[in-house]
Amino acid sequence: MIVKEMTSKDCADVLSRGHIAHLACAKDNRPYVVPIQYAFESPSLYGFSMPGQKIDWLRANPQVCVQVGEIKDNEEWRSVVVEGSYEELPDNPQWHDERIHAWSLLEKRANWWEPGALKPGTAVAGEKAIAPVFFTIHIDSITGRQSTARDS
């Protein structure tokens, strides 16, 4: 197997093709990693979540790392790592256009709202609806590596 650095264009291509990533954040010197669905539009990633531990931790420390991978087999894969900062897109007039833009990018994929558990606007009978959280990750850096099988 040969491992090499990816170009910026190759990294952007992987981010554009993908929609599932691993989001890493930290609070009180403790790491936390969870899968998310995302949409990429340079220079940002967009995501959605219901309130919970991930959002609490992101609010406490907005510095994040996101990993996206493409795996063909043990010898052929690509991995892109994004470092950046989290920013919420609140449901208010100031952020309305950006929030709608995030929604429009995310909804291009089937079941884009999973693993957020509930599609925005739906609620379990008898329960109060919980407001979804849309967010952007402002990208500071993108790096990537890829491996290929050695020529036989």
In tens, the pLDDT along 86-95 reads 999 999 999 9
Question: How sure is the predictor about 124, in pLDDT bands with cuts at 50, 70 and 90?
Answer: low
In tens, the pLDDT along 10-29 reads 999 999 999 999 999 999 99
In tens, the pLDDT along 41-89 reads 999 999 989 899 999 999 999 999 999 999 999 899 999 999 999 999 9
Dihedral of CA atoms 15, 21, 22, 24 in degrees, nearest 10, equals: 60
CA distance 32 to 11: 24
pLDDT, residue 152, reads: 44
pTM of the model: 0.86
Question: How sure is the predictor about 116, in pLDDT bands with cuts at 50, 70 and 90?
Answer: low
Cβ burial, residue 19 (10 Å; 0-12/13-18/19+): middle
Q: Which residue ranges form the domains of the chain, and what is each CATH number?
A: 2-148 (2.30.110.10)
